[in-house]
Amino acid sequence: MGNKPSKGRTEVRRGQMVASCLNLSEMPATGLSEVAFMGRSNAGKSSLINALVGSKVAHTGATPGRTQRIHFFSMPAWYIVDLPGFGYAKASKSDRQRFGEAVEDYLTQRQSLISAILIQDARRDAEPEEMMVVQWADSRNILLTVVASKMDRLNRAEQAQRQQALDEQYGRSVFLVSNRTGEGLDRVRHVIRGLGLTL
Ligand SMILES: Nc1nc2c(ncn2[C@@H]2O[C@H](COP(=O)(O)OP(=O)(O)O)[C@@H](O)[C@H]2O)c(=O)[nH]1
Ligand SMILES: [Mg+2]
């Protein structure tokens, strides 16, 4: 992965996955800024990453339950960090109250993590897992952007209704987007650029 000895010049493509980690010690030690992408399985996290990068770098529609790794995509002056999806219906109640050790270590200890994007299906309500993310971000003073995907599945009236409901649940303005049509993604890009990161 990232620490492979390079033969001369190493070319990293924009959006290339450069590390796939099971714990903190495996993560790149570059100190580049990181934006974490989080969300329930099937929320549209990989699709959002692909839409923002502009090419298919993250696997979409993949079946959950395999080894949960933390993926680093090089942008290349910063990293998109794809965290394992949470909230499997089959997980036990105690499992649902935590995100897994590697993710918790990452969220609480990683110094280069500067911001997070929480993605959820616009048709669903925020659940305890999403609220845990909000609490974590507030406690670490991390700028959290909430993105509600699949707005293309809703008509205008439903979009307005979901916008209001989600804004209320999160206590902030939620960005409705479609990873399919690209609608709403400029606002997400604007937030990322506002962090001083090139997209
Ligand atoms: N209609 C629609 N489908 C989406 C959107 N985003 C993701 N999907 C679909 O939802 C499913 C899960 O998406 P994926 O990105 O793999 O979700 P992840 O598990 O959160 O990474 C896939 O079938 C995607 O094609 C969206 O904005 N609109
Ligand atoms: Mg995914």
Three-state SS string over 92-148 comes to CHHHHCCCCHHHHHHHHHCCCEEEEEEEEECCCCCCHHHHHHHHHHHHHCCEEEEEE
Q: Which ligand is nearest to the CA of 71?
A: 2
Q: Which ligand is nearest to the CA of 122?
A: 1
Q: Give the per-residue pLDDT at 9.
A: 63
Per-domain boundaries in the chain? 17-194
- Ligand 1 pocket, residues with Cβ under 6 angstroms: 39, 41-47, 60-61, 85, 149-150, 152-153, 178-180
Q: How far is the CA of 85 from the centre of ligand 2 (A)?
A: 7
Per-residue pLDDT band for 61 (boundaries 50, 70, 90) equals: confident
Per-residue pLDDT band for 121 (boundaries 50, 70, 90) equals: very high
**CATH architecture for residues 17-194:** 3-Layer(aba) Sandwich (3.40)
Q: Which atom of ligand 1 is nearest to the CA of 40?
A: 20
Q: Which protein residue's CA is at the shortest distance from atom 8 of ligand 1? A: 44
Per-residue pLDDT band for 64 (boundaries 50, 70, 90) equals: low
Q: Which ligand is nearest to the CA of 86?
A: 1
